[in-house]
Amino acid sequence: MRRRRRATAIRAGIAVLTAAAIASGCTRGEEAPPPLKAPPARALDGYAAKLRADHAALVAAAQRWGLKETPLRPPAPPAKKPTITTRVGFEVDEHEEQGLPPVFTTVPTDQKVVFLTIDDGAEKDPEFLRMMTDLRIPYTAFLSDYLIKENYRYFQQMQARGVVLNNHTLNHPYLPGLSYSEQKREICGMQDVIEERYGARPLLFRPPFGNYNSDTLHAAKDCGIKYVPLWNEEVFVDHWDYREWDRDIHPGDIVLSHFRGTDDWAGRMPDMIRVFLDKVTAKGYAVGRLEDYL
User: Higher model confidence: residue 37 or residue 157?
Assistant: 157
Please indicate, yes or no, if residue 15 is contained in any of the structural domains. Answer: no
- pLDDT score recorded for residue 54: 87
Please indicate, yes or no, if residue 128 is contained in any of the structural domains. Answer: yes
Closest CA to 268 of 143, 96, 127, 172: 127
Which residues, including other chains, have CB under 8 Å from residue 174's CB and lie 6 or more apart? 208, 209, 211
Q: How many domains does the chain have?
A: 1
Structural domain that includes position 108: 74-85+95-293
Please indicate, yes or no, if residue 79 is contained in any of the structural domains. Answer: yes
| Mean per-residue pLDDT over the chain, rounded | 90
Please indicate, yes or no, if residue 205 is contained in any of the structural domains. Answer: yes
Please indicate, yes or no, if residue 104 is contained in any of the structural domains. Answer: yes
Please indicate, yes or no, if residue 212 is contained in any of the structural domains. Answer: yes
Task: Note whether 283 and 260 are within 8 A (CB).
Answer: no
Q: In this structure, which amino acid lies at residue 54?
A: D
Is pLDDT above 90 for 48?
no
Please indicate, yes or no, if residue 49 is contained in any of the structural domains. Answer: no
Is pLDDT above 70 for 86?
yes
The domain that contains 208 carries what CATH number?
Answer: 3.20.20.370
Q: Residue 37: which pLDDT band, with cuts at 50, 70 and 90?
A: low
Please indicate, yes or no, if residue 34 is contained in any of the structural domains. Answer: no
Is pLDDT above 70 for 16?
no
Rounded distance, CA 278 to CA 68, Å? 6
Closest CA to 138 of 72, 55, 210, 205: 72
Q: What is the pLDDT of residues 256-269, one digit of tens each?
A: 999 999 999 999 99
User: Worst-scoring range by mean pLDDT, 8-22, 69-83, 182-196, 229-243?
Assistant: 8-22
Average pLDDT over residues 212-232: 98
Q: What is the DSSP string of 233-283?
A: EEE-SS-EEESSTT----TTBEEEEES--TTTSSS-HHHHHHHHHHHHHHT
